[in-house]
Amino acid sequence: AKSYRIAKIPGDGTGPEVVREAVKVLDAVAEKEGFKIEWVEYDLGGERYLRTGEILPAGVIDELRQMDAILLGAIGHPDVKPGVLERGLLLELRFQLDQYVNLRPVTLFPGVYTPVKDKGPEDIDFVVVRENTEGLYAGAGGILRKGTPHEVAVQESINTRMGVERCIRFAFEYCRKRNKKKKVTLCGKTNVLIYAFDLWERTFREVAREYPDIETDYAHVDAICMWMVKNPEWFDVIVTDNMFGDIITDLGAMIQGGMGIAAGGNINPNGVSMFEPIGGSAPKYTGKNVINPLAAICAGQMMLEHLGEEKAAQRVLEAVKRAVARDIKDLGAGKMGMTTQEVGDLVARYAVE
Ligand code: IPM
Ligand code: MN
C-alpha cells in the first residue's frame, strides 16, 4: 500500500491537543482508503526552547525536506518574548522550506454561524493566496540611535519580481483548478505604497494575460476589509502580500465561523508543504480539552488534497460538514457542547462511514 511520511509538529499551547485529533481522523481515513501515514514527531516550540535553549536544531530542516508534508499545531508561548519563536521557528520553517504561498480558504459551512448579516454558505466561499516569504516579514530594517529621543525604527517591505510573480501565478493556477467564479482579485495599496504595489500591479497584469479565462479585479486592502463583510460573494481568489494576507485572513476566519475552523497551508509546489490551523496556541485553553480541533482537522484535509488523496480528503470534508451542521453547538472554545476529544472521535467516525 502507498505510504506517506508526515512530520508532526504539535508545538505549543493547545497545539498538541488539536494535532492529536487531526492525526486520529487522518489515520482513520487512511485505513479506509488503503494507504498508510507514518508520523514522525518533532518536539519544537516554546517548551523545548525554555528547557534547552534550542529553537530549530541543526539538521531538522534537512530532515523535514525529506518528508511528504508537515502538520503543525501552534507556535507561541506566553513565557517567551514575542518574536523569538514566531520568527525563529514558524517563519524560519516557511522561509527555509521556501513555502512561498500561504493558502487560506474562507469557506462558510452550512449550519455555521457567521456574524456577517444576511450571508450564507453560497456567499462566503473564497480563498486567500498570501505571499509567504517576503514583504514586511523579510525582516529588513533596523533601529538607529536606540533608546535615545532620536531613535529611528525602519521596517522595510521586500518585494522581488520573482517572489511576486510566482505567488500571483500560483493564484491564477489555483483559480483555474478551483473552477468557481474564475476571478482573481489583487489586494494592495497602490495609492500609498507606490513602489511595492507598482511591482505587484504590473506583474499581476502581465501574468493575467496568460489566463484569458479568468476575470481580474483590484481592491485596496482597507476596502477589501469592508467588502469581505459587506459583499463576500464578490470574491473567488484574493492574492496579496504577506502582511495584508496575515491581516485579512484573520478577518476571513471570523466570517467563516471563527478560529475554531480556519485552516491554512504553507505551500511549496516543488518542495515540502506545511499545514496548520491558523488560530495560534491559545494558552488560556491549554490542557482543558475544550479547544476546537476542527481547524487542525481541516488543515489535515488540505494536506490530503495536497498529497493527491482526493477521496480521503473528501471524506474528511464531508465529515466536518456533517458534524458542524448537526452536532457541534458553537465553534468557539468551551462552547462546542463537546470536548476536543469527542469532536475528533465524531469526525473520525463520520469520515469512515
Ligand atoms: C499566522 C500567524 C503568524 C504570521 C505569526 C504567529 C508569526 O499570525 O500564521 O498568520 O504572522 O504569519
Ligand atoms: Mn496571522
Q: Which ligand is nearest to the CA of 276?
A: 1
- Distance from chain centroid for Cα 31: 26
* Cβ neighbours around 197 below 10 Å, total: 26
Distance 112 CA to ligand 2 centre (A): 22
- Cα(51)–Cα(55) distance, integer angstroms: 10
The catalytic residue among 222, 230, 311, 329 is: 222
Residue 55 DSSP label:
S
Q: Model confidence over 141-163: pLDDT tens digits? A: 999 999 999 999 999 999 999 99
189 is catalytic: yes
Look at ligand 1, atom 12, and give the residue with the nearest C-alpha. 246
DSSP, residue by residue, 23-38? HHHHHHHHHHHTEEEE
3-state secondary structure of 338: coil
Output the pTM of the full model.
Answer: 0.97
Q: Model confidence over 92-138: pLDDT tens digits? A: 999 999 999 999 999 999 999 999 999 999 999 999 999 999 999 99
Residues 6+ apart with CB under 8 A from 77: 12, 13, 45, 46, 47, 49, 50, 85, 281, 283
Q: Model confidence over 176-186: pLDDT tens digits? A: 999 999 999 99
Q: Output the ligand 1 site: residues, CB below 6 A.
A: 76, 86, 90-91, 246, 278
For residue 178, CA distances in Å to 102, 236, 258, 290 come to 16, 9, 23, 34
Domains of the chain plus CATH, in order, are 1-100+263-353 (3.40.718.10), 114-256 (3.40.718.10)
Q: Model confidence over 242-299: pLDDT tens digits? A: 999 999 999 999 999 999 999 999 999 999 999 999 989 999 999 999 999 999 999 9
- For residue 185, give the C-alpha cell: 482579485
Q: What is the dihedral of CA 125, 262, 22, 171, to 10 degrees?
A: 60
